[in-house]
Structure 1
Amino acid sequence: MTTTDTSSVISISGVHRRYGSGRTSFSAVRGVDLAVRRGELFALLGTNGAGKTSLLEVVEGIAPPSAGTVTVLGSDPYRERHLVRPRTGIMLQEAGFPSDLTTVETARMWHGTLGAPMAAEAALDLVGLGQRARVQVKSLSGGERRRLDLALAIMGRPEILFLDEPTTGLDPQSRRDAWELVRNLLEAGTTVVLTTHYLEEAEELADRLAIMHAGEVVRAGTVEQIVAGEPARIRYRTTAGDLADPRTLHGLPSLLTAARSRSGVVELESRDLQATLTALLERANAAGELLTNLEASHASLERAFLAVANEDADDVARTPEPAAA
C-alpha cells in the first residue's frame, strides 16, 4: 500500500494512563510515543494486559491521558472532542444495539447522528448485510453483528477509522471480505488504526505497526523491520549420524543455535536461512543421511510477537508509579 501524504494525523507524545491514585495506582500506559501518517494503516498489537485498549481510548478521546499529549487531526481528541469526533469513525470491541430494532432501523438511527453520511442501506451493502436488513439485531449471528459495527463506523465517511478487533467472530471468507473493504478505504485516503489478535491480519494489511508490552511500545516499524531481528528456523528428524548431534552442527554457516529435543527433533536457528539450509542438505547428501519431517521457515511476525510475549516484564508491570499531580 502506498501513501501520498506522509504528514502525521495522530501524534502521541509521552503518554501515560494511570488508574487509581497514590500507592495503589496502576500505570496501564507508560510513556508511549507514536505517530500515525495520513493514509496508512497502523496496527497496534499487544500481549494480554499490554495497555493497547487503554491507549486507544485516549487517542479516541474517550478518556484523557494522565500525562503527555495526544493530537488527532490537529486537535486534542478529549478536550476538543467536538472538532475531532465528526471526522473519525470508531468500531469498538463490543457495541450495544437495541435488540428489537432491525438491522436497517439500527443503521438509520445511527445515520441520523452523523453530519454527511452515506445512505444507511449503502453502508449495509458494503459489509454484506444488505440481505439481512429486515432481520432484528437479536437474530443476527456474532459475526453479523461485527459487520453491523463496521457499517456504522464507516457510514460517516471518516478521515480516520479506529478498528478494535474488527474481525473477531467472522468466518474466514467474511474476514477476507472485511480486509478488502479496508483496502478500498485506504485507497480512498482513509487513515486506519487497527488493533487485532490475528497476526496474519496485521501482516496482510499494516503499513506499519507497534507491539505493546507492560504498557510500553517495545517494537515499532514495518513488518519487515520488526521481524528482521528474529532468526530463521530449521527443524528435522534423523536417527543416526552426525546430523542428529547438535554439537557437530556448529560449523554450518550463519548458524546461531542448535538443539535436540527429547523427542528427537533437531532445531536450528540461523541468520541466513538459505546459507544454513544449503550447507545442511549438502552434508546430509554427502553422508547419506535422511532428514525426515524437514521444515524451514523465515522469521515471522508471529515469532517476533511471541519473543515479546515471553519477555519477563512482571516486575515492571507490578511496580506502581506515583500518581499524576
Structure 2
Amino acid sequence: MLNFIQSQSRLFTGLLSLGAIGVSAAYFSKRELDRTCLPVPISALPKPSAARNFVQRPGEPSPKPSWGLESSTLLSSWKHSCDDEDDESKSDSNRNLENTHWIPSFVALQADVPLAPLAQYRKSESKGDPIREDDDDVLSLAEHFLAAFLDARAAGPEAWFLDNDVPPLSFTPGSHLFGNNAGLGAFLLGTWSSSPTQSKHFQPPDLPPSVPCPVSEFPSNKAVILYKAGNTAAAGTIMYWKVPEETVRASDRLAAWGPPWRLMLGGFQEFIVEKVSETTARVTYVSVESAHLHPGGTSKRDFKRVPWVGYRLHVLYAQVLLYKTTRRLRRVIG
C-alpha cells in the first residue's frame, strides 16, 4: 500500500482532495437544510393540525421529536369504505380489529416563506386563470403549498421511474397525487382549516372503491378545531401513501428469520400553512409512518421498524423536497 501511495502520489493526493471537498460540501449542505427546513417536535405544530392530533392523542404525553417514540399511539384499521381491506385482519376473524397498527416514526419540518408568492402559486387546474380575491385565504394557501410540493417532487428523478398515469391535481378525497395507483402511490385524504372566517375540520371520508385504502385509521380533528384551535389562522391538506403489498410481505418474511428491521406499510403526510404576519407564512411538512402490529398474521405483537440510518435518509429526502418547494415558491413572479 505504501509503495502504491509513493508511486501514485498525485492520484492519491487528488483522491484525498476530492474526498475532502465532497465531505465538506455534504456537511455544509446538511447545515443549510437544517437551517432552512428545521426539524421540529410535534408540539411545535399548530394545535388544529390533524397529524398532531393523530400522533399525540388527548391526555397522552408529548412524544420526542420524530425518531424514538417512547410509547406509540395504537391504531385501528381503516373503517371507512374502500375495496382494499386489510387482508391480514380479514384472514383472522377472531382477531379484534382495534389496536392493530402503531406509529414507528414521524418527522415534522418547518420553513418560513413570503406570503405573496404562496398566494400567487397556480394549482395545476387553475394555471393561467386570474388570481381570485380569496386566493390568500388560509385553506387556498395550504392547497397552493401542496401543489408546489408536488411540482417540486415531479421535477426530480424519482418521478421518472415511480409515477404512472398521474392525473391533474384534484382536492377530491381519493385523488391520485403521485406514484403508481397499484403500487407505491399517494392519494389525497382531506383538508381542514381553523381560519376564524372559514373553519373546517377534517372528517375521514368514504373513499371511492377504485383507490387503495389507507394503512390505518386517521381520526378527525373536529374537537380541536371547535374547542382548542386558538386565534392562529392555519389550514392543512392530508395525503396517504402505501408501500406495495408484495414488498411488505417480502420484508416481513425476512424479519421473521431474525433481523430486527422491517418496512412500514405506508403512512400519512400533512401540509400545513400558518399566517404568521402580513408578509410571511410558515409552512410545515409532516410525515407519519404506520406499521402493522401483527405482520404476516402472527399473533404476537411485533414492533420492528426500519433501521435508524433508513430513518435519517428518509428525513434527509423530506428536507430536500421541502427545500426545493420553498425555492420554487420564492421564484414565483406576479
Question: Could you state the TM-score of these two structures normalised by the residue count of structure 1?
Answer: 0.23
Larger RCO, structures 1/2 (Cα 8 Å, 6+ apart): 2
Higher Rg of the two aligned structures: 1
Which is strand-richer, 1 or 2?
1
